[in-house]
Amino acid sequence: MLTELFAILAPIVISVGIGFFWGRSGTAYPADFVSRIVMYVGTPCLIVSVMNNVEVDADVMGEVMLATAVAMTAMGLIGWVTLRALKLDIHAYLPPLIFPNNGNMGLPLCLFAFGQIGLALSLGSFMVMMIATFTVGLLIVSDVQGSWGSRFKDMARQPVIHSMIIALAMLITGTHLPRWLFNTVDMIGGFAIPLMTITLGVSLATMRIATWRRSLAFSFARIFGGLALGWLSCWTLNVEGVSRSVVLLQSAMPVAVFNYLLALRYDRHPQDIAAMVVISTLLAFITLPFLLVLLLP
């Protein structure tokens, strides 16, 4: 079991470590360019290539997506009530509770833990998170800036959304790409996960911890609260097997780096959110081995 755990976690820890030490070295890293090419090119190709390469029942994918959506919605409602009671800024502190890092960390973890089928199912959770981030997330953080129409136009222009539509259409119809096209998107999509984890390491190296106690409390709430709500969602919807493990793993991910980018853009306590990203990620590396012991078949 220890060997299997090491085989799952080592690629992620090492690649994040490479990014961390790169960031600490002071060597230039074009984080904005890398993030854009991963989001606009690599991830869309990864989504399409995985869906083409793996046979996944549409109902099973729907279960994963629904369970993820229910868990995130429950976290949002509980977080909203709690933040109101504590008189904290909802626009700043609610998104870190709702949106986990199920891209940079969740996708490679599900791949190494459960293989290609795990990666395919984890993309279902990733799709839900991305759609929620570009709609509800932007609505929360930006407050009254912009209309719903402009928000949906922004979301409709995202290549990730286009690739999700194509992947779901392929899944429902059983359509496969011609070999030349599959080889192309498979090759391009191959750089998405390594660059995700390395960029995560660079981001962790450049962020600073401003508030220990609050960040630690939010980190525990994001990881353990997300895990509890993921379990409750799976139990309620009767999600079992690898699908259940993927939902639980994705629900227990730390605060997504994208929350920090949104906070920085709209000036919503970005230093506090950066501290939550760092501390929750460190906490996740501590808790993941124990979680994987429970989830691995």
Q: Average pLDDT, stretch 53-59? A: 83
Question: Percent of the chain scored above 90 by pLDDT?
Answer: 50
Rounded to an integer, what distance in angstroms lies between the CA atom of residue 120 and that of residue 54? 7
Rounded to two decimals, what is the model's pTM?
Answer: 0.86
- pLDDT exceeds cutoff 80 at 156: no
230, HSE (Cβ side, Cα atoms, 13 Å): 28
Higher pLDDT: 234 or 257? It is 234
Measured in Å, how far apart are the chain's first and last C-alpha atoms? 11
Per DSSP, the three-state class of 284 is helix
Tokens of 121: 């199912």
Confidence of residue 95 (pLDDT cuts 50, 70, 90): very high
* Rounded CA separation 135/127 (Å): 12
Q: Measured between alpha carbons, how far is 17 from 50 in angstroms, rounded to an integer?
A: 26
Whether the predicted pLDDT of 104 surpasses 90: no
* pLDDT at residue 92 is higher than 70: yes
Residue 18 is predicted with a pLDDT of 95
pLDDT: which is higher, 76 or 171: 76
pLDDT tens figures, 107-154: 999 999 999 899 999 989 988 988 888 778 878 887 655 556 666 676
Q: How many domains does the chain have?
A: 1
Are 129 and 158 in contact, with CB atoms under 8 Å apart?
Answer: no
Overall average pLDDT of the 218-230 stretch: 96
What average pLDDT does the segment 239-260 reach? 93
Least confident of 115-129, 202-216, 229-243: 202-216
What contacts 24+ positions apart, CB below 8 Å, involve 80-89?
89/268, 89/269
**What pLDDT was estimated at residue 174?**
83
Domain that holds residue 162: 2-295
Average pLDDT over residues 36-57: 88
Q: Find the CATH number of the domain harbouring 80.
A: 1.20.1530.20
pLDDT for the residue 200: 87
Question: How many percent of the chain have pLDDT more than 70?
Answer: 95
pLDDT value, residue 148:
61
Residues 6+ apart with CB under 8 A from 198: 15, 16, 18, 19, 22, 34
More reliable by pLDDT, 253 or 35:
253
Strand partners, 100: 255
d(CA 280, CA 18): 19
**pLDDT tens digits, one per residue of 6-23:** 888 889 999 999 999 999
Give the per-residue pLDDT at 264.
Answer: 79
Query: Could you tell me where the DSSP H helices lie in the chain?
Result: 2-25, 31-37, 43-53, 58-86, 90-98, 106-132, 138-142, 148-156, 159-173, 179-189, 192-206, 212-220, 226-237, 241-251, 257-266, 270-295
